[in-house]
Amino acid sequence: MKIIIVGASGTMGSYLSNAFEKEHEVIGIGRRSAIQVDLTSPASIEDMYQKVGAFDALICTAGPTYVGPWKNLTAKEFRNGLEGKMMGQINLVLIGQHYINPKGSFTLITGAVTHEPQKNFANASAANAAVEGFVRAAAIELEKGIRINAVSPTVIENSPHYFPFFPGEIPTTMKQLEYGFRKSVFGANTGQVIRP
């Protein structure tokens, strides 16, 4: 299977790349990769797909949002987050549907702050909720057996610098995260939000 991982140089993406490349052809898209993408630019996303060609699955673990005090959150900062995490992921699907093989799958990333907001994450909560709504809606319209899901972890164990923002949360282990993505990529479900 040919799997694109957008965000392959990040904490989640690098772990998933290492896990999946043992069994599949992984095309890593990240800051240090041969192929890069600007999620805020539909033209850049189109260029990425043209370089990669036909594929079987896309995983996205990227999507920048504003993280910080509410009093510093401006309309501009909020829009930047929507362009990154929300529209970036939505455009990966809208454009990618023309390149993906029949019966392929898209797996997007959201997060527990969608349903359990934490201080400093208002932008991420809104972007995540929009992505989850898009996943449910796209699932009933994508053709050729193409599936779409989102994986929604809480803070992950390999990002301890975020632990103070999530008091009382038990971190998602990297193995739990991996199996959440495996369920989406290799399973039969579509339109689901998988909470590992």
Buried b (16+ CB within 10 A) or exposed e, 99-108: bbeeebbbbb
**Domain residues for 135?**
2-194
Per the document, the length of the chain is 196
Q: Which of 94-98, 130-134, 163-167, 189-193 has the lowest mean pLDDT?
A: 163-167
- Identify the pLDDT of residue 74: 95
> Whole-model pTM?
0.95
pLDDT digits (tens, 9 = 90+) for 136-165: 999 999 999 999 999 999 999 999 999 999
Q: How confident is the model at residue 135 (pLDDT cuts 50, 70, 90)?
A: very high
Buried b (16+ CB within 10 A) or exposed e, 69-90: eeeebeeeebebbbbbbbbbbb
What lies within 8 Å, CB to CB, of 187 at 6+ separation is none
37 residue type, one letter: V
C-alpha closest to that of 61 among 109, 105, 100, 23: 109
- Identify the pLDDT of residue 64: 86
Query: What is the CATH number for 109?
Result: 3.40.50.720
Q: How confident is the model at residue 130 (pLDDT cuts 50, 70, 90)?
A: very high
pLDDT digits (tens, 9 = 90+) for 73-111: 999 999 998 999 999 999 999 999 999 999 999 999 999
- Identify the pLDDT of residue 63: 87
Contact indicator for 4, 27 with CB cutoff of 8 Å: yes
| Arithmetic mean of pLDDT, 15-37 | 94
Checking if the pLDDT of 31 tops 90, the result is no
Q: How many structural domains is the chain composed of?
A: 1
Buried b (16+ CB within 10 A) or exposed e, 142-169: beeebbbbbbbbbbbbeeeebeeebeee
Q: How confident is the model at residue 33 (pLDDT cuts 50, 70, 90)?
A: confident
CA gap 41, 8 in Å, rounded: 18
Mean pLDDT computed over every residue of the chain: 96
- Identify the pLDDT of residue 100: 98
